[in-house]
Amino acid sequence: APKAAPVNKVSQYACQRRTTIENNNRIFTDAFEVLAENYEFNEIEGRCLAFRRAASVLKSLPWAVRSVGATQDLPCLGEHTKAVMKEILQYGRSFEVEKILSDERCQTLKLFTSVFGVGPKTAEKWYRRGLRSFSDVLAQPDIHLNRMQQSGFLHYGDISRAVSKAEARAVGNIIDEAVHVITPNAILALTGGFRRGKDFGHDVDYVVTTTELGKEENLLISIIESLKKQGLLLFSDYQASTFDLSKLPSHRFEAMDHFAKCFLILRLEGSRVEGGLQRAQGDGRGWRAVRVDLVSPPADRFAFTMLGWTGSRMFERDLRRFARLERRMLLDNHALFDKTKVLFILGCTKIFTHKGSHYTIFTLVLR
Ligand code: CTP
Ligand code: MN
Ligand code: MN
Ligand code: MN
């Protein structure tokens, strides 16, 4: 007799789930994000992660959930998540979510953390001082804003507006021109949400390096210098490399990598963008501010950097968890380490262009 078709079990690891950018369960995942963010504001990390995990599972489904019963074989959905889903299915909304959305503290923290450079700690501090709006904050004579926050307020309108793919490409052209003056052997690759196929992002992420090992150390400094000379640099926060070859991959999930990197705000001229700028109606300016992240690893770590910066955050988190629990390996943005064989697995990268398409070849080398 023919065997019953195997049930396609949804993996508990985001990196084992095929997820498109189409989300069939937005009504649930939007609600989960409100709850997760609220737990984040209240520093209840476990619950925050639980709702983000549940959202990630629902985003991977090629179908829309129409009953709680349909979710019984899905991983990562707990009692609380299912109760929220049930409410949404029954009443079209979740009362818990609505309560949070109408909560003054939550609204204020969300508003304040939407400013570049303002995290939950600063937002909470301002809220406790009785501040509720941007004008409240800016009217305080004794409030200290760091450079990042000052730029955050200055360019608030522009950088809270989505960045289009065409704008991301235009930013890439600017970086490409700058880097090729510095080194002819430059490597530039779009990463982050745009590499995952998203049409819009909150920023533009590029990995930029050179095949001349060691020359990447000061590459970003030179790029920043060039952008400044061209009058395109509105803000720059540069972090030099603290990369140590001998270190094992980090156990921490969200640990930052140690490569040289910079968080920028660039001035993007509309004339450089195919199809024009993404901007507010009635905005007569011919340019907009764009948030740009650049990271510059040594070329032999390019593969791991690309893997680490492509995201999504849950994908990255689960990729590391999968490596550790299912393969006894340690993975981070720098390297992959095999705990059983006690050796590093290094990625060699070759990049070439053929008939207008860019190819990247990773070769794994055992050391
Ligand atoms: N990342 C990282 N180290 C940093 C900053 C970011 O490893 N210092 C990684 C994040 O884990 C994420 C990716 O880079 O996977 C992109 O981060 P981000 O730009 O914040 O998110 P996107 O997925 O690109 O989404 P968005 O469109 O909102 O920018
Ligand atoms: Mn991004
Ligand atoms: Mn982001
Ligand atoms: Mn980014």
Residue 365: band (very low, low, confident or very high) from pLDDT cuts 50, 70, 90: low
Task: Provide CB contacts within 8 A for 273, sequence distance 6+.
Answer: 164, 166, 167, 170
Indicate whether this model's pTM tops 0.95: no
Residues at CB less than 6 angstroms from ligand 1: 192-193, 198, 201-203, 205, 256-257, 293, 308-309, 311-313, 316, 333
CB contact at 8 A, 161 and 278: yes
Q: Identify whether 293 is a catalytic site residue.
A: yes
Instruction: Determine the Cα–Cα distance for residues 67 and 51; give it in Å rounded to an integer.
Output: 18
From the CB of residue 63, how many other CB atoms can be counted at a distance below 10 Å? 8
The two three-digit tokens of residue 25, written as one number: 């369960």
Mean pLDDT of 278-299: 89
β pairing state of 260-269 and 204-210: unpaired
What is the pLDDT at residue 313?
95
What stretch of H or E contains 4? none
The residue whose CA has the least distance to atom 28 of ligand 1 is: 202
How does pLDDT run across 246-285, given as a tens digit for each residue?
777 776 655 689 999 999 999 999 999 999 998 776 678 8
Taking the centre of ligand 3 as the mean of its atom positions, its distance from the CA of residue 7, in whole angstroms, is: 34
Residue 8: band (very low, low, confident or very high) from pLDDT cuts 50, 70, 90: confident
Active-site residue identified among 136, 176, 237, 293: 293
Helical segments of 42-119, H only: 45-59, 79-91, 95-101, 104-113
Which ipTM value was assigned to this complex?
0.94
**171 to each of 128, 208, 320, how far by Cα in Å?**
39, 13, 30
